[in-house]
Amino acid sequence: MAASMLKNMIVGQNNIFRVIGYSFPHKKVCLNHYRCCTSIVHGNDNVRTEQDVKPRRPRVCRTTVSSPAHQTKDQIGQFYTVPEPIAKKVFTRGWLNPKLLQLFDTFNETSIMVRKPALEIIDLMKSANYKDPVIKYVIYGPQGTGKSTTLAHVAHYALEEDFMIIHVPWPKHIYQFPATYQESTYKEDRHDTLVESLKWMNSFRKLNQHHLEKLKTTKKCVWTKKDSSLEGTPITDLIEMGLDREKHIPDIVGMIIREVKKQAADLGLKVLVVVDGVNSLFQETTVKVAPGEFRPSSQIGLVQHFMKLLQNDWAGGAVLLTVDRNASKDDKRESDLPKYLLGKEGFAVLDPFIPFQTELYSEEEFHSCIEYFKERRWLQGEKGQTQRGIQQIRFLSGRNPYFVERACSAW
């Protein structure tokens, strides 16, 4: 009775509730001060009273099963540590959010939470027939719920199973810098981006050095009047040549992809194509061609090459994609669902695919995360360890994984 009185009194005040503003496109958290009378707050389902949140059984937040192939439902919500050689390859810049990488550096270990979408994908990949045409796995979900992390988790599994990994970090970066555009000598209506092609080639080589030795070209290429490479040239040689003569790099990239597609099934090679933000492959660039007209990204050479990997006409691999709101243009960011972000064209190219949604933390996962941060000293102080403190974090973050970390950073 008196509680409701107090509630009415406080809720009726001027400054009681400041809404937490998430400025989503820039991932800034405006954690404004607010007065959270936790037992008295009205109408917010994120905050529960002390009576609602029962004291949890102490749950282990870590697991020693560090191989994704062996992880099961039991490990969902627990953190596992990625072994260092794999962490260096896959849990690095380009794969993951810089804030997360900074956290790995701070904690002196690379640990991520085992979550449902990753396990489901790994499950399907285990039983897939690599003689059949490639299966496409599309991850979508709200910001901060772990799309890129899922990619990295599955790539960990792939590395352990000795997959070849073709990673396209953020396609927008490919065509973002019009200064590097160059008209292609090989194909009309194509523009090449030298710098980005070089970058990609280097990272590809670094990741898949031991696989490249098996790959050889199947057709003769004429680079210039004097240069040509015959059938049967190993891909590593082509790459060496490309590093010497940078002009040919975009076409070499095309060559690599063509050969991979053709020979993957025959060589017994398993390929994992990872694209983070695939919806930006189906959009316009910001380069003006005519007043009001922008160059479509399909005219960029690298984009054309990567699009070929999304087709159904090859076998011996899996295609792992993320559909991200931020990869779209500003005016197309209303929803996180695949069809909206991909557009008609994108959906037609990818269909049929298997969709996976990354969600906010469940209660178990949230508390596990809190335990982990406590253990790692990211969430500290006597106040941070209390039930009330955790309630406040839960309210501030809304159980969104990214924002849980951000909320804990203030404690």
Partner 1 sequence: MACNMRVCQFNNIFSSTPTLKRVGTCVPRRSVRTVPRKIGIAHKLQLKDERGDQFKPEKKPLLRDILAPPVGPGIIEETRKSKPPLEKVDIAKTLTRADVIGLMQESPTSAERMSNDKDWTKVWPTAATFNWTKFPVSVTQGVKVMKRDNPRMFEKDVSLELMKIPNFLHLTDAHLDKHCNALQKYLSKWPSELSSSLAIAQHFPVEIITEDYVRSSPSIREPKSRIVTLKVRVGSLQLNARARDKLIRLAKDRYNAKTDLLTIVGDRCPRRKQNEDYVKYLLTALYMECRKVQEWEEDVKEEDVTKYRWDLSSSRKQLKKIKPDLQDTAEEIQQYKEVLAELHETESQELYDKYRESVIKVLGIKAASSGS
Partner 2 sequence: MAAIRSLSHLLRQGLHLNAATLIPKTAPICQTRCMAQKGMTKPHPTLDLDALETTVTDMQSGKYKRKTVRYAESDQSTVLTHDQIVRKFIVLIMKGGNKDTARRIMDKTMEEIKRRQVREFHRATESQKLQIITDPRKIFNQAVNNLKPVLLVTSVKRGGIAYQVPVPCPEKRQLFEAMKIIKAALAEKTNSRIPFHEKLATIIMDAAEFKGKAMDRKIEILKNCERNRAYAHFK
List residues near partner 2 by CB under 8 A. Answer: 1-3, 5-6, 9-10, 13-16, 18, 30-31, 33-39, 102, 105-109, 376-378, 380-381, 383-384, 386, 388-389, 392, 396, 409-411
End-to-end CA distance of the chain: 34
The alpha helices in 235-362, defined as continuous H runs, are 235-244, 249-267, 301-309, 338-350
Per the CB < 8 A criterion, the answer to whether 271 and 316 are in contact is yes
Residue whose tokens read 């007065």: 35
Identify what 355 binds: partner 1, partner 2, none; CB under 5 to 8 Å per kind. Answer: partner 1
Cβ 235 to partner 1, closest distance in Å?
27
Q: Figure out which of the listed residues 210, 352, 377, 381 binds partner 1, where binding follows CB under 8 A.
A: 352
Distance CA 397, CA 404 (A): 5
Bridge partners of 296?
A: 284
Binding of partner 1 by 298 (CB under 8 A): no
Binding of partner 1 by 353 (CB under 8 A): yes
Cβ 135 to partner 1, closest distance in Å?
7
Using CB under 8 A as the binding rule, the residues of this chain from 95 to 134 that contact partner 1 are 119-120, 123-124, 126-128, 132-133
Contact partners, residue 260, CB within 8 Å, separation at least 6: 164, 166, 215, 269, 271
In this complex, which beta carbon is closest to partner 2, that of residue 21 or of residue 232? 21
Cβ 207 to partner 1, closest distance in Å?
25
Cβ 320 to partner 1, closest distance in Å?
15
Per the CB < 8 A criterion, the answer to whether 109 and 81 are in contact is yes
Strand 181-183 relative to strand 191-193, pairing: antiparallel
Q: Provide the b/e sequence for 175-190 (b: ≥16 CB within 10 Å).
A: beeeebbeebeeeeeb
Cβ 373 to partner 2, closest distance in Å?
10
Structure tokens at 379: 């969430």
Identify what 289 binds: partner 2, partner 1, none; CB under 5 to 8 Å per kind. Answer: none
Question: What is the binding site for partner 1 (CB under 8 A)?
Answer: 72-73, 119-120, 123-124, 126-128, 132-133, 135, 312-313, 335, 337-340, 348, 351-357
